[in-house]
Amino acid sequence: MAQAMVHELMTPNPITIAHGQTVGKALELMARYDIRRLPVIRDGKVTGIVSDRDVRQMAGRPSVKLAKTASDDAYLQLPVEEVMTLNAITIRETQPARDAIALMIKHKISGLPVLGRDGVLVGILSEQDILKYCLNILEQEADRPS
């Protein structure tokens, strides 16, 4: 079996958020697109990544929901760089998928921004992308005659 490459598994053209946008905007995008992480972009480059977990930790809550009082939602006005993970761990689209999986396990993260040859964001690789790929392999094996 040929080795799978990152570009084969990744989700291309990911939803991103611009440096300087608010935590509230990040939450809005995550809810609208049903995603858990957003690469943060400044001058065309990935400067960090903000996840639903980052926001939950900032809010001091086990789950992210809209706040019920005005004082509770002050963190929503913060810029994303206040909650994002700086120096996001990234991977190149031309690398083997096993390298991405190893990075995710080593750093205990659930997604990686994927960079093209020029260092520009071209995709995102999430646990879900990897699980879909694994399920596809298992289904193919199950369909093979013994």
| C-beta separation of 65 from 13 below 8 A | no
pTM: 0.85
> Tokens 């608010």 map to which residue?
22
What pLDDT is stored for residue 76 in this prediction? 86
Mean pLDDT of 12-28: 95
- Confidence band of 53 (pLDDT split at 50, 70, 90): confident
Q: Which domains does the chain have, with CATH numbers?
A: 6-143 (3.10.580.10)
DSSP letter at 64? -
Helix, strand, coil abundance in the chain, percent, nearest 5: 40, 25, 35
- Which alpha helices (H) appear in the chain, and where do they start and end? 6-9, 23-33, 52-59, 97-107, 127-143
Q: Which residues are 79's β-sheet partners? A: 22
